[in-house]
């Protein structure tokens, strides 16, 4: 069944910046479908295409671009973007990226868990350290348990300059 990717899916909730930088940094989000195939040589190839029509099982790439619209550089560590994994999608393992960005993840075994419910279990951690607790059992988190991604931009962002972060999800 095909779905139209509406503005609600394009909106990225939970983008966080220090309040004084909000007027100086502009954010924009784009969503593309990831079309992939295997070449004759056995190499995996991928292309980003229009995401106007998507179906369950499609892989989507969210790209969040940010631009310093102020008059002074933004210091390293000031730009922090936290993005929940969109509803009806599942994070594609190890696809988050960003230029000059440290990437942390939040996970929970509870399907209804929110990024606002950050506990010891739900702390933002590097992907390799991400765990969930089920009773007395502590185990590595699965892709379906990643609830949010946080990027900390670790470089100066001069006036007029831009950078971007991204992640992939699979539509349920």
pLDDT per position as a tens digit, 105-163: 999 876 655 555 554 445 899 999 998 888 899 999 999 999 999 999 999 999 999 99
Cβ neighbourhood burial of 68 (10 Å; 0-12, 13-18, 19+): buried
Cα–Cα distances in angstroms (integers) from residue 96 to residues 104, 163, 164, in the given order: 9, 14, 11
Element (H, E) at 107: strand 101-107
> How many domains, in total, are found in the chain?
1
Domain that holds residue 19: 2-171
pLDDT at 6 over 70: no
**What pLDDT shows up at residue 25?**
95
pLDDT at 171 over 70: yes
What is the distance between the alpha carbons of residues 164 and 3, in angstroms, rounded to a whole number? 27
The number of CA neighbours under 13 Å toward the Cβ of 160 is 0
pLDDT per position as a tens digit, 38-62: 999 999 899 999 999 999 999 999 9
Residue 130 token pair: 């991400």
What's the CATH code of the domain at 144?
2.60.40
């Amino acid at each position: 069944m095909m779905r139209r990717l509406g503005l609600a899916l394009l909106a990225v909730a939970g983008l966080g910046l220090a309040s004084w930088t909000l007027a100086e940094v502009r954010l924009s989000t784009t969503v593309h479908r990831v079309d992939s195939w295997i070449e004759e040589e056995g190499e995996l190839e991928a292309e980003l295409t229009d995401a106007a029509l998507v179906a369950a099982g499609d892989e989507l790439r969210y790209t969040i671009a940010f631009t310093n619209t102020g008059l002074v550089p933004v210091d390293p560590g000031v730009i922090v973007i936290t993005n929940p994994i969109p509803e009806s999608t599942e994070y594609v393992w190890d696809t988050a990226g960003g230029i000059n960005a440290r990437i942390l993840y939040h996970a929970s075994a509870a399907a209804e868990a929110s990024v606002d419910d950050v506990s010891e279990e739900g702390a933002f951690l590097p992907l390799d350290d991400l765990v969930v607790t089920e009773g007395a059992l502590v185990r590595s988190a699965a892709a379906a348990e990643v609830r949010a991604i946080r990027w900390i931009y670790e470089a100066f962002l001069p006036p007029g300059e831009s950078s971007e972060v991204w992640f992939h999800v699979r539509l349920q």
